[in-house]
């Protein structure tokens, strides 16, 4: 009944076979008369050394950014994060939403020539992903009943109850498939094989100079006809984003995944680069920089106080001066980029110092002789320091003395999520490709425990808990959206936390390259270079 | 001959160094009165080039760079002077005891000195700042606790050389108490090296603070030059003034203290040459 | 001599052990938990518990230390949490690049320092002397990270004389002699940045040493015999001033290592610097411990080598 997604996928794979560049086309600016052509090499700036090449044992962005090009997921997520075929050609979802059947692409080979089969998928999940991939383990372990591999080309996922967001969890970032014949009997976290990766992906490892660069060669036996087009990918490790941009401008590299605000205008004017913005990437998708209110501490336990804060904080100024306009002022608990679930019509708190003062007065917080109502400690990572400095000014205007405690990021997260020792905290909550993945954890009351990026505010609302369960246990988008709409309504009134900015990164690359999947882990599968 | 040498160096060293240090000290003392009361205060549009009411321009949040440099002088100098002073005290106590008493006291103290000296200071500073949170007070203490071995070694060498001087031997012969000999006769002779090494450490401490800030591990609750340099990083090309002014202030201060130390060293006590590190 | 070396090494053992234990407690009691950091944006209590057990972090701290020391004695310093490889393998990969940078910087600061110091000594009291003193001290007073960035903007981004980053060309690295030239081309700016740190120190030592030497009787005699000032400096003055230079430069090994950390980060140099920074941020305990050991051992070794060189150059210093 729900097989229409699979049929759509089938239609797409046929289209793909006929016109290779259509899936995952990042830019459509194809030079006149030119289409994808073989050859060329692209040098990509990587901010961190990958360390190893097994993306199935880690969620580290540094490893995924590089290693994902060596592997595939069952699913590829397109620019709108809609599922498209990858290792799975098509899939059927049972009417009750509890069984997913994936039909694998026949004849796929690992880099060492061994055939890929459903046994690899089963092994990857059971022995690697569900043990060591933090997000996949946390998301699927509790709901999954089992994985079957009835024949080499079929994999069946069985769930204890209906489960909606599975397809969004199966791309190469969330669930890369590794080779059973390589890892059987080994501890995948310590195996030497992690440095001699054998994947199914469009590229193969050719050279790894630690701390310096990683070189990939074209996988000539790749299962998608014609792809990849590039002969070589080089990831050059450059920690500073300033330096990355300089290197791009000097032609030492071709691709930068994060252009700092101050450099953006110059690169845009230059004209030699394609600039694309995206809230997605291998490090986390659709992130909202969010203030977390410690609801167990007065006066933040009063909703009037939190509303007062909302009226007093100038988020546009933060977007302009801290993020250089790279993003949008947040509107609700779910990012506006997840269009089907985002509810734009929730309670709004436009900048209004008068309303803020009224609400704070109503909450019974009186101004002392020096005009101060109360003090709040803002515990934050140094990357949010600028936000704190602006907010200190903004809140002083309504009589709130914001004390800034800027800490190294892990120490700040420790104070906020583990020790719960803060008045206001801050985090960049990434929604992920589905609200079930990245939004649920922020608001459900069974996730208040000492876990990073959990419900740091300590928010408890039984109705919200119930709505999240309803949304997860359905495979119907309309039904799911209804639940998420109501959640956003409630959260906008309760304000357990306060979304400031939906951040978006700007990627830039030399104009001669086309069709980069810059939002995905599999950056260059379809990329090609003009002669 | 000695006088001739001192005269040759004085203009380059003591003169320039003294003036630079004096200017910085004046800025630190009087600065906050000249500049806006709150260096964090947003007073203008961001990214204004130097000129008019903002002679050093404004930063990315619209804060006055001159105000930051003046307020920063206070913090940076405080870190430098406090770290160097504590290090000088600890170093003098350790070095003098080791040199004067000798024997097992010397052995134990020198082993300890070695231990601290071999510990990579900046590694330690990075780890402590990252792990325990960046705080100017902790940083100053950490610097003091890692700077003292240099002073201790110098003082010990000085005390060893003075111990057998006639006036010390004479004092001991007439029954003056050891501590008193140390205080009245030995330490004054070592004062030169102590002050010189402390002056050098003022500059080093200011630089370490700036380096930590560069790595994003500085204390952001106060404005220091390191803080400003760190903030200026993304804007090196678009707003040069954000890094040039605090950078120059920092370089001139370190230059000043170094030249001053050099000049004093040459003018004061040539005997310690070669021992100095 | 061999006995001296062995004795010095034995003496270093308790010092290193003390550093090891102190560092162990320092690192392990710090806020921030490697397991939660590894799990990152995701993970749950079950994942945390499993990972803690896997890394042995669920045991009491003294027990962890005992296990660490017992393994260390057998040469096993553990696996990096992040790189998932034995820590010394991870470090060994980065050592050559850092060593290359440090030695080049050392060679630069020594050579330039001797040249400038000699010039200043010969022009003692003249404007050139003052200019050299002030300029070299100013160079070492400028924070290396800032100097490095300015050099990049002017000479790499602006004039295009040097590459902006890295140790080799990322795109189609040349082979053979071309590869050496390529590395030298990349090495120039970082080595200059790092070398400028110690330039003032060397210059000052050479300058003051030479000035003293030039007043000695034998030098006056040599000059009276008609030797040029340059020849006198080269033959008689310099050899004597090299001793303090070696002592002081060797004693500043730690400073150089520090400078290397920052220089490497600015120039994306594939050495130990970034590794230390990342290991700190990710609370990679085993890797951090190992880096402390490596840094301490290399400082001890540098001190020992300094003393040995000193002993060889100056027969009056007896190593016993």
Using CB atoms, pick whichever of C31, C44, C152 lies closest to residue A451: C44
The answer, for A269 touching chain C at a CB cutoff of 8 Å, is no
* Residue C7 token pair: 């004795």
Q: Which residues pair with A529 in a beta bridge?
A: A513
pLDDT at position C112 is 92
**If you write DSSP's letter for every residue of A192-251 in order, what string do you get?**
GGGGS---SSSEEEEEEETTTEEEEEE-TT-SSTT----SEEEEEE---HHHHHHHHHTT
pLDDT tens per residue, range A418-458: 889 999 999 988 888 889 888 998 999 988 877 788 899 99
Nearest partner of A312 among A248, A430, A411, A397, judged by Cα? A397
| Residue C14 with chain B: CB contacts under 8 Å | 111
Name the residue of chain B whose CA is nearest to A259's CA.
Answer: B234
Is B131 in Cβ contact with A408 (below 8 Å)? yes
Predicted confidence band of residue A202 (pLDDT cuts 50, 70, 90): very high
Query: Could you give the strand order of the β-sheet that contains A287-293, starting from the edge strand earlier in sequence?
Result: A327-329, A497-503, A287-293, A424-430, A374-381, A400-407
Contacts of A482 (CB under 8 A, 6+ apart): none
Predicted confidence band of residue A33 (pLDDT cuts 50, 70, 90): low
pLDDT at position B37 is 64
Using CB atoms, pick whichever of B130, B220, B234 lies closest to residue A406: B220
Strands A232-237, A41-46: pairing is parallel
Using CB atoms, pick whichever of B5, B115, B121 lies closest to residue C19: B115
C-alpha–C-alpha distance, residues A33 and A18, integer Å: 18
pLDDT at position A423 is 96
* Residue A527 token pair: 């990329």
- Residue of C38, C44, C287 for testing the chain A interface, max A β-carbons within 10 Å: C44
Burial label, A458 (beta-carbon count in 10 A; 0-12, 13-18, 19+) = middle
- Mean pLDDT across the stretch A334-341? 91
C-alpha–C-alpha distance, residues A437 and A433, integer Å: 7
Phi-psi region of A299 (alpha: psi -120 to 50; beta: other; left: phi over 0): alpha
* Residue B27 token pair: 């800025």
Residue A132: count other Cβ atoms within 10 Å of its Cβ: 23
**What is the overall mean pLDDT for chain A?**
88
pLDDT at position C236 is 67
Name the residue of chain C whose CA is nearest to B9's CA.
Answer: C125
Name the residue of chain B whose CA is nearest to C298's CA.
Answer: B118
C-alpha–C-alpha distance, residues C108 and C263, integer Å: 15
C-alpha–C-alpha distance, residues A351 and A363, integer Å: 19
| Residue B118 with chain C: CB contacts under 8 Å | 12, 15-16, 19, 296, 299-300, 303
Residue A213 reports pLDDT greater than 50: yes
Nearest partner of A287 among A519, A139, A504, judged by Cα? A504
**Which 93-122 residues of chain B touch chain C by CB within 8 A?**
111, 114-115, 117-122
Report cis status (omega within 30 of 0) of the bond before A299: yes
| Residue C153 with chain B: CB contacts under 8 Å | 236-237
Give chain A's end-to-end CA distance (angstroms, integer).
Answer: 47
C-alpha–C-alpha distance, residues A65 and A280, integer Å: 12
- From C137's Cα to the closest Cα of chain A, the distance in A is 28
Is A382 in Cβ contact with B41 (below 8 Å)? no
Is B233 in Cβ contact with A407 (below 8 Å)? no
In eight-state DSSP terms, residue A414 is I
The answer, for A345 touching chain B at a CB cutoff of 8 Å, is no
| Residue B71 with chain A: CB contacts under 8 Å | none
Residue B36: count other Cβ atoms within 10 Å of its Cβ: 17
* Contact predicate B15/B46, CB 8 Å: no
C-alpha–C-alpha distance, residues A62 and A46, integer Å: 7
The answer, for A405 touching chain B at a CB cutoff of 8 Å, is yes
Each residue's pLDDT expressed in tens, for chain B with a length of 277 residues: 344 444 444 455 677 888 888 888 888 888 777 766 677 777 778 888 888 888 888 888 888 888 889 988 988 899 999 999 999 999 999 998 888 888 888 888 988 888 888 887 777 888 788 777 778 888 899 889 889 998 898 888 888 877 777 777 787 788 777 777 777 777 777 787 788 888 888 988 998 888 888 887 788 878 889 889 888 888 887 888 998 899 889 989 988 888 888 777 766 644 434 433 3
Nearest partner of B197 among B75, B95, B121, B112, judged by Cα? B95
The answer, for A347 touching chain B at a CB cutoff of 8 Å, is no
The answer, for B182 touching chain C at a CB cutoff of 8 Å, is no
C-alpha–C-alpha distance, residues A54 and A210, integer Å: 15
The answer, for C266 touching chain A at a CB cutoff of 8 Å, is yes
Is A452 in Cβ contact with C266 (below 8 Å)? no
For chains A and C, count residue pairs whose Cβ atoms are closer than 8 Å: 167
Residue A1: count other Cβ atoms within 10 Å of its Cβ: 10
- Mean pLDDT across the stretch A259-271? 87
| Residue A59 with chain C: CB contacts under 8 Å | 39-43
Burial label, B34 (beta-carbon count in 10 A; 0-12, 13-18, 19+) = exposed
The answer, for B159 touching chain A at a CB cutoff of 8 Å, is no
* Contact predicate B68/B57, CB 8 Å: no
Is B221 in Cβ contact with A382 (below 8 Å)? no
The answer, for C37 touching chain A at a CB cutoff of 8 Å, is yes
pLDDT tens per residue, range A292-329: 999 999 899 999 999 999 999 999 999 999 998 889 99
H/E run at residue B116: helix B103-118
Is B247 in Cβ contact with C257 (below 8 Å)? no
Three-state secondary-structure class, residue B183:
helix
Distances A3 to A10, A77, A97, A520, B98 between C-alpha atoms, Å: 11, 18, 11, 25, 85
C-alpha–C-alpha distance, residues A391 and A395, integer Å: 6
- Residue of C258, C275, C288 for testing the chain B interface, max B β-carbons within 10 Å: C258
What is the mean pLDDT, run by run of 10 residues, along chain C of 320 residues? 80 83 82 73 75 83 88 85 86 91 92 89 82 83 85 87 88 77 91 88 84 72 71 70 77 80 88 84 84 85 80 59
* Residue C307 token pair: 């003393």
Residue corresponding to tokens 């060498």: B157
- CA A361 from centroid of its chain's CA atoms: 40
pLDDT at position A281 is 67
Phi and psi angles of residue A375, each rounded to the nearest 5 degrees, phi first: -105, 145
**If you write DSSP's letter for every residue of A141-189 in order, what string do you get?**
TTTEEEEEEEETTEEEEEESS--STTGGG-STTT-----HHHHTTS-TT
| Residue C136 with chain B: CB contacts under 8 Å | none
pLDDT tens per residue, range A87-102: 999 999 998 989 999 9
Residue A12 reports pLDDT greater than 60: no
Predicted confidence band of residue A498 (pLDDT cuts 50, 70, 90): very high
pLDDT at position C229 is 67
* Residue C49 token pair: 């518990």
ipTM of the complex: 0.80
Q: Which residues pair with A44 in a beta bridge?
A: A235, A255
Residue B271: count other Cβ atoms within 10 Å of its Cβ: 14
For the stretch A210-232, what's the b/e string if a residue is b when 16 or more beta carbons lie within 10 angstroms of its beta carbon? bbbbbbbebbeebbbeebbbbbb
């Amino acid at each position: 009944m729900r097989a229409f997604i699979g049929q759509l996928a089938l239609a797409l794979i046929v289209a793909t076979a006929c016109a290779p560049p259509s899936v995952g086309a990042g830019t459509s600016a194809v030079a006149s008369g030119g289409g994808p052509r073989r050859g060329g090499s692209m040098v990509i700036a990587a901010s961190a050394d990958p360390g190893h090449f097994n993306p199935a044992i880690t969620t580290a962005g540094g490893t995924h950014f590089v290693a994902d090009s060596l592997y595939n997921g069952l699913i590829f997520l397109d620019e709108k994060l809609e599922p498209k075929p990858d290792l799975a050609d098509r899939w059927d979802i049972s009417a009750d939403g509890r069984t997913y059947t994936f039909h694998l692409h026949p004849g796929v080979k690992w880099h060492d020539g061994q055939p890929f089969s459903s046994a690899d998928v089963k092994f990857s999940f059971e022995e690697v992903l569900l043990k060591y991939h933090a997000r996949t383990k946390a998301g699927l372990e509790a709901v999954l009943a089992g994985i079957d591999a009835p024949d080499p080309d079929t994999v069946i996922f069985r769930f204890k109850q209906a489960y909606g967001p599975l397809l969004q969890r199966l791309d190469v970032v969330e669930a890369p498939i590794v080779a059973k014949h390589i890892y059987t009997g080994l501890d995948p976290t310590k195996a030497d094989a992690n440095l001699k990766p054998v994947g199914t992906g469009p590229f193969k490892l050719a050279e790894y100079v630690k701390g310096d660069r990683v070189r990939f060669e074209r996988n000539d036996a790749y299962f998608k006809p014609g792809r990849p087009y590039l002969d070589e990918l080089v990831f050059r490790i450059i920690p500073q984003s300033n330096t990355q941009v300089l290197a791009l401008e000097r032609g030492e590299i071709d691709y930068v995944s994060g252009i700092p605000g101050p450099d953006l205008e110059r690169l845009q004017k230059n004209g030699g680069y394609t600039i694309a913005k995206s809230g997605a990437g291998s490090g986390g998708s659709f992130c909202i920089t969010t203030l977390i209110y410690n609801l167990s501490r007065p006066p933040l336990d009063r909703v009037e106080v939190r509303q007062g804060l909302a009226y007093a904080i100038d988020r546009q100024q933060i977007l302009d001066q801290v993020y250089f306009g790279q993003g949008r002022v947040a509107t609700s608990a779910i990012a506006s980029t997840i269009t089907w679930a985002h509810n734009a019509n929730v309670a709004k708190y436009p900048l209004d110092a008068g309303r803020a003062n009224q609400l704070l007065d109503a909450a019974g917080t009186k101004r002392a002789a020096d005009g101060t109502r109360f003090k709040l400690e803002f515990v934050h990572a140094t990357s949010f320091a600028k936000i704190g400095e602006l907010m200190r000014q903004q809140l002083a205007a309504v009589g709130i003395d914001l004390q800034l405690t800027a800490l190294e990021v892990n120490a700040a997260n420790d104070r906020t999520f583990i020790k719960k020792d803060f008045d206001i905290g801050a985090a960049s909550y990434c929604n992920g490709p589905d609200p079930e993945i990245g939004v649920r954890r922020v608001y459900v009351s069974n996730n208040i425990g000492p876990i990073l990026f959990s419900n740091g505010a300590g928010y408890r609302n039984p109705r919200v808990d119930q709505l999240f369960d309803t949304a997860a246990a359905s495979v119907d988008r309309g039904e799911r959206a209804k639940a998420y709409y109501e959640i956003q309504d409630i959260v906008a009134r309760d304000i357990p936390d306060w979304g400031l900015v939906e951040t978006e990164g700007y990627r830039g690359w030399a104009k001669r390259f086309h069709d980069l999947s810059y939002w995905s882990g599999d950056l260059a599968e379809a990329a090609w270079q003009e002669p | 001959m000695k006088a001739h040498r001192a005269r040759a160096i004085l203009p380059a060293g003591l003169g320039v160094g003294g003036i630079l240090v004096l200017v910085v000290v004046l800025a630190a003392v009087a600065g906050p009165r000249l500049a806006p009361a709150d260096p964090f205060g947003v007073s203008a549009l961001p990214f204004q080039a130097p000129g008019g009411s903002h002679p050093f321009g404004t930063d990315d949040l619209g804060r006055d760079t001159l105000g930051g440099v003046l307020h920063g002088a206070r913090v940076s100098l405080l870190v430098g002077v406090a770290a160097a002073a504590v290090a000088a005290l600890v170093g003098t106590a350790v070095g003098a005891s080791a040199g004067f008493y000798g024997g097992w006291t010397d052995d134990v103290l020198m082993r300890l000195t070695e231990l601290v000296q071999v510990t990579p200071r900046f590694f330690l500073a990075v780890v402590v700042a990252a792990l325990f949170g960046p705080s100017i007070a902790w940083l100053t203490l950490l610097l003091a606790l890692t700077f003292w071995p240099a002073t201790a070694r110098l003082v010990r060498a000085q005390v060893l050389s003075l111990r057998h001087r006639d006036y010390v031997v004479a004092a001991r012969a007439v029954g003056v108490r050891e501590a008193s000999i140390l205080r009245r006769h030995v330490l004054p002779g070592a004062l030169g090296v102590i002050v010189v090494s402390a002056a050098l450490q003022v500059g080093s401490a200011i630089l370490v603070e700036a380096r930590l800030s560069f790595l994003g591990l500085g204390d952001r609750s106060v404005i220091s030059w390191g803080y400003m340099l760190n903030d200026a990083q993304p804007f090196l090309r678009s707003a040069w003034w954000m890094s040039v002014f605090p950078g120059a202030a920092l370089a001139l201060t370190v230059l000043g203290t170094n030249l001053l130390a050099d000049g004093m060293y040459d003018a004061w006590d040539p005997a310690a040459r070669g021992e100095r590190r | 001599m061999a006995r001296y070396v062995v004795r010095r090494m034995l003496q270093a053992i308790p010092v290193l052990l003390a550093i090891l234990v102190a560092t162990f407690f320092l690192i392990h009691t710090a806020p921030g938990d490697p397991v939660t950091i590894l799990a990152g944006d995701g993970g749950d209590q079950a994942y945390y518990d499993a990972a803690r057990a896997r890394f042995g972090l669920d045991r009491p701290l003294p027990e962890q230390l005992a296990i660490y020391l017992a393994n260390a004695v057998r040469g096993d310093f553990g696996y990096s949490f992040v790189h998932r490889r034995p820590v010394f393998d991870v470090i060994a990969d980065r050592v050559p690049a850092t060593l290359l940078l440090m030695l080049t910087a050392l060679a630069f600061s020594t050579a330039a320092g001797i040249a400038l110091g000699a010039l200043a000594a010969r022009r003692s009291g003249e404007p050139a002397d003052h200019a050299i003193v002030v300029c070299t001290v100013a160079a070492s007073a400028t924070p290396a990270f800032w100097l490095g960035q300015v050099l990049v903007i002017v000479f790499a981004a602006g004039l295009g004389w040097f590459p902006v980053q890295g140790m080799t060309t990322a795109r189609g690295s040349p082979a053979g002699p071309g590869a050496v030239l390529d590395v030298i081309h990349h090495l120039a700016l970082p080595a200059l940045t790092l070398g400028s740190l110690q330039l003032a120190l060397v210059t000052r030592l050479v300058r003051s040493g030479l000035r003293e030497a030039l007043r000695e009787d034998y030098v006056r005699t040599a000059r009276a015999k008609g030797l040029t000032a340059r020849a006198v400096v080269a033959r008689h003055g310099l050899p004597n001033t090299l001793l303090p230079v070696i002592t002081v430069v060797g004693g500043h090994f730690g400073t150089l290592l520090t400078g290397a950390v920052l220089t490497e980060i600015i120039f994306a140099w594939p050495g130990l610097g970034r590794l230390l920074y990342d290991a700190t941020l990710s609370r990679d305990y085993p890797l951090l411990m190992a880096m402390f050991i490596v840094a301490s051992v290399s400082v001890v070794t540098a001190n020992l080598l300094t003393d040995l060189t000193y002993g060889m150059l100056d027969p009056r210093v007896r190593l016993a």
